[in-house]
Structure 1
Amino acid sequence: MTGPPTAAELLDFARRTAADRALVDSLPLDPEGRTWVRLDGPGGSEAWLIGWPPGTGTGWHDHAESFGAFVTARGSLTEHALSVRLPAGGWKTLELAEGLDRSRRLGPGDGRAFGRDHLHEVLNPSPDTHAVSVHAYYPPLPLIRRFSRTGPVLRLEQVERPEDWQ
């Protein structure tokens, strides 16, 4: 590979990694909290193998200026996304227009790539089954912005930096 990876290459990496049964089975699972292991992604990307206990999720967040991909390796995940580009900064609360919500279910082997400015939440809706997924981002995540949402109102709650999750 020459140059940075494309979103399609990140999705291909996530698919191949999610199909690696030995790797997926090696992830320690916690009954209450998400677990994760950092992986070597292609072309200097940041990649993670993540375990999702039943009923857990990420909450609404974005990945700053990174694009990426994720694939479900085991179980099922639901992604709720907003099809909107948020202002870069200088705001704490936004009122969203109607028709921006998108939802999809991702079973084993299902995945998606996403561009910069992607805002979503990912959930394991199962009441009794862990899910495992593979995620890859480029450039490596400079920060994650976390949001709360009440109906059409989106509020910036927190900004996390790599030292908060590594």
Structure 2
Amino acid sequence: MTSTHADHDQFDLHPALDSLLLRDVIHPSRDLWTPRELRDLTSFVASELTTGLLQILDYSTERRWWARLGLTEGVELWLLSWLPGQGTEPHDHGGSAGSFTVLTGRLREDYRYPAGPIRSAVRDTGDALGFGSGRAHQVLNPFEAPAATVHAYSPPLVPTREYASLHDIPDSIPPLPAQRLPLARLRQLADLEGP
């Protein structure tokens, strides 16, 4: 999915959402995004681009479905869907800051900071949160209705680490080496790996 505009070498936007509005908020001049900036981004995209997101949204019974909405050298933006019973394994984001906003439905998030207790929260439509690199979580849809979420991570495409359980989170979560990769290489990785 590449932008149809001349400056597609600076960012990659989903063709159905490629607009001046999204270009303004995902502008490639920002190398690293804070958890608050990521939360503001996912919240803005979920609230201001709802119609476009719902047109793209799909569901898969085989696995969670996703679509890349945007990619720069500093941030990646995704739309994910969750059928009842679908979820992630416990994982961290390898040193990236992250965020997600619930577009539709509701999800349960179990999360833990190193050496802290495991906590649980229900995330309802419109809920948005940003988190730093020292956090692990597991996101599940134990409810009867499908859900959809908008996610962002910075730096982009840092591998996640999975755990057998949130009890297995180490006392400190060291960051994986973030590589400053050109957008063309980030596109290749995003196409192979997904969120």
> Which TM-score bucket, shorter chain as reference?
0.7 to 0.9
Question: In the comparison of the two structures, how many residue pairs are matched?
Answer: 147
> CA 1:42–1:163 in 2, change beyond 3 Å: closer, same or farther?
closer
Give the Cα–Cα distance (whole angstroms) in 1 for the partners of residues 78 and 98 of structure 2. Answer: 11
> What percentage of aligned pairs have identical amino acids?
35
The TM-score, its normalising length taken from structure 1, stands at 0.77
* 1:21 partner amino acid: T
State whether residues 113 and 134 of structure 2, in contact with CA within 8 Å, keep that contact through their aligned partners in structure 1. Answer: no
Greater percentage in helix = 2
Alignment of 1:54-69 (within 5 A): 54-69=84-99
Q: In structure 1, which of residues 68, 71, 74 is the aligned counterpart of residue 101 of structure 2?
A: 71
Alignment of 1:41-56 (within 5 A): 44-56=74-86
Q: In structure 1, which of residues 17, 24, 32 is the aligned counterpart of residue 45 of structure 2?
A: 17
Deviations for 1:39-66, whole angstroms, at most 9, x for unmatched residues? 1157730111000011111010010010
State whether residues 13 and 41 of structure 1, in contact with CA within 8 Å, keep that contact through their aligned partners in structure 2. Answer: no
* 2:127 partner amino acid: D
State which drifts further: 5-14 or 45-54.
Answer: 5-14
Q: CA deviation at 1:115?
A: 0.3
Using CA pairs under 8 Å that are at least 6 residues apart, name the structure with larger relative contact order, 1 or 2.
1
1:117 and 2:147 aligned: no
1:137 and 2:166 aligned: no
* Residue 10 (structure 2) aligns with: none
The TM-score, its normalising length taken from structure 2, stands at 0.67
* Residue 33 (structure 2) aligns with: 5
- Show structure 2 runs of 5+ residues with no match: 1-26, 171-188
State whether residues 73 and 156 of structure 2, in contact with CA within 8 Å, keep that contact through their aligned partners in structure 1. Answer: no
Greater percentage in strand = 1
Give the Cα–Cα distance (whole angstroms) in 2 for the partners of residues 112 and 121 of structure 1. Answer: 14
Give the Cα–Cα distance (whole angstroms) in 2 for the partners of residues 164 and 154 of structure 1. Answer: 27
SS of residue paired to 2:164: strand
State whether residues 78 and 106 of structure 1, in contact with CA within 8 Å, keep that contact through their aligned partners in structure 2. Answer: yes
* 2:43 partner amino acid: R
SS of residue paired to 2:126: coil
State which drifts further: 38-47 or 101-110.
Answer: 38-47
* Residue 18 (structure 2) aligns with: none
What's the RMSD between the two structures over aligned residues? 2.5
